[in-house]
Every structure is written in C-alpha cells, then in structure tokens.
Amino acid sequence: MNLANHGATSRDIFDWDYVLWDVRLKLLAAGFFIYLGVFLLAHWLSSWISTSYRTLSGKEKAFWNISITRGLFAVQSCGAGLWALLIDPVFQADQLYAPQKWSWFHCLIAAGFFLHENVVIHVSNIVFRMFDVPSVVHHLFAFVGLVGVITNIKSGHYLPLMGLLLEMSAPSTCISNVLLKIGYANTLFWKANQWGNIHMFHCRMVLIYHMWWVYISNWNEMVENLGLPCFIVFFMGLSTLTLIFNPYWTYRSTQRLFGLVDRNFPNTAVENGSSGKLNSETFQKKRI
C-alpha cells in the first residue's frame, strides 16, 4: 500500500492516499482484524487469569469478550472525537465539509470495528438462539453510516467523529460487566463506576443534542454533502438513538445500579450482601 506523499517510510501513520479504494479497503480490513484479535486475546487472557471466567456459560463468555473489545475501541474513539470537538482547528472552523487525514484513518478503522461487531453479534444470535434488537439495530446503523461516509470522499467527518465519541460509556460498561461477573458488584468501586456509567449516558445525550444542532442548522448542506441515502440513514440512526436507545440504556444502567441486574442476562441478579467468596472468587445467585 502506497503512502500519499512520502512513501512507505513516512513516520506519519495517517499519511495515506485515501482517494484510493485499495487504501480504504485495507484499512477497513485492518480495523476488522485488529478488533477480532482483541476479542480472541480477551478470551485467551481471561481463560488464563480468571477462574470465574472459566465457569461462565458460552453466552456469558461471548458478552464478556464483546464488552472488553468495545471498551478498548472506545478509548480510540473518544480520543478522536474529543480532538475534533475541542482541539483540531480545521474542525473548529468547518463542522460540515472538513475531512482530515487522521479522521479518514479513524473512520476506516471504526468501520472495520463495526463490521466485526455485526459479525460477532449475528453469530452470537445464531449460536445462542437470541436476538438483541437494540445492539443489532444500533451497530447496523453505525456500520452503514460509516460506509456511507468512507465511500464519499467529499463527505465531512465532524459528525461521524461525534458519533465515535458517543462510545464514551463503553469503558465504564466494560468494567461494570466484568466486575459483576466475578462477583464484585457490592464493592464501592463497582458502584462508583456505575454512577460514572450513568453520567456518561447523560453526557451522550448532551452530545446527541449538539449533533442535532449541527445537523438541523445545515440541513440543505447536509443533504448535498452526504447524499440523500446517507442523509436518510444518518437521520434515522440519530432519531432512534435519541428517542429510544440512549434513554433505554440510561434506564437499564440506573436499574443495574439499584437492582444489580445484568443487562445482557436479565434473569441474573446479585442480592446485596448475599455473595460469598470461595477461593477468592464469588458466585452469583440466580433469581428464582
């Protein structure tokens, strides 16, 4: 793969010729395999380190690894989103048409991640005979929206980067899920993390309103810039996230704080003060 200006020895990892489909497809594939590797590595390390992980069902192990993968992806996403929101002078000046080489890189890697997410979610749904509607719809919109952006070389990247910043809740969700599964849901740290998780969902709502402001303030330009199909996908995805998914996830996170309900396994609960340790590990009680 050729670099845009300085050849393969360039030190700038973002300096690719993004006009070339070869570059875009390879970076998308790189995002897919990087996070597939994270998913598999999470399984291997967890099997090696955690006794509790080895006692989980296959379905619970899959969600454990998905949660860790999302948490690590969120670190990349939040870094890119915060840089665009607060620092980058190009995006500060132009929230509609501006793309940057570094934003191309992050959008392509993110598209690979969401391709991975869709594959893992659908395989899990088939294997475990379930259908997680919010996750399926959310990740489908995210992937299709990013594909629409990366196929249009004239498209601006500010709103897609704000979409990546919406992953801000994933790290605390990951910590919450893991601690819940290993039996530390009654600790002060878990509760503080869960409060932080709820706060992140409220921050997401503020960011969503900001995205709507940019979107509505430049309605006609957005149609021209994104193209009508991508504009419709973005509108539907943002509307669904605003009216249904984010309020629902905020409610479930609050419910987990006060009821210790596992969002992915609603029939599993840990009663306050009811967990006991065996060999430094804790069993979770099942709600009858």
The residue among 229, 79, 60 whose CA lies nearest residue 130 is: 60
Q: Is 216 exposed, middle or buried (0-12, 13-18, 19+ CB in 10 A)?
A: exposed
SS3 9: coil
Q: Are 163 and 145 in contact (CB under 8 A)?
A: yes
State the CB neighbour count (10 A cutoff) for residue 179.
18
Tell me, what's the pLDDT at 136? Answer: 87
Residue pLDDT, tens place only, 80-111: 999 999 999 999 999 888 899 999 999 999 99
Tell me, what's the pLDDT at 161? Answer: 96
Residue 16 pairs in a beta bridge with: 3
Element (H, E) at 152: none
Query: Would you place residue 241 in the very low, low, confident or very high pLDDT band (cuts 50, 70, 90)?
Result: very high
State the CB neighbour count (10 A cutoff) for residue 17.
15
Residue pLDDT, tens place only, 22-45: 999 999 999 999 999 999 999 999
Residue pLDDT, tens place only, 59-68: 999 999 999 9
Give the pairing of strands 281-282 and 277-278: antiparallel
Tell me, what's the pLDDT at 13? Answer: 81
CA–CA gap between residue 43 and residue 69 (Å, rounded): 10
Name residue, tokens 């300085």.
6
Per DSSP, helices labelled H in the chain are 21-49, 51-55, 58-82, 89-93, 101-127, 133-150, 158-165, 170-181, 188-217, 219-226, 228-240, 246-259
The answer, yes or no, to whether residue 131 has pLDDT greater than 90, is no
SS3 19: coil
The residue among 200, 191, 225 whose CA lies nearest residue 81 is: 200
Phi and psi at 277, nearest 5°, equal -100, 145
* 240 or 6, greater pLDDT: 240
* 278 or 281, greater pLDDT: 281
CB-based contacts of 213, cutoff 8 Å, min separation 6: none
The mean-pLDDT minimum among 142-146, 211-215, 283-287 falls in 283-287
Structure tokens belonging to residue 213: 């402001």
Q: Is 49 exposed, middle or buried (0-12, 13-18, 19+ CB in 10 A)?
A: exposed
CA–CA gap between residue 128 and residue 135 (Å, rounded): 15
Query: Average pLDDT for residues 150-168, to the nearest whole number?
Result: 93
The residue among 192, 205, 190 whose CA lies nearest residue 249 is: 205
* 280 or 29, greater pLDDT: 29
One-letter amino acid of 2: N
Tell me, what's the pLDDT at 246? Answer: 95
Query: Would you place residue 9 in the very low, low, confident or very high pLDDT band (cuts 50, 70, 90)?
Result: very low
CA–CA gap between residue 94 and residue 88 (Å, rounded): 10
- CA 136 to mean position of chain CA atoms: 13
Query: Average pLDDT for residues 256-279, to the nearest whole number?
Result: 53
Q: What is the mean pLDDT of the chain?
A: 85
CA–CA gap between residue 221 and residue 227 (Å, rounded): 10
Query: Average pLDDT for residues 197-215, to the nearest whole number?
Result: 96
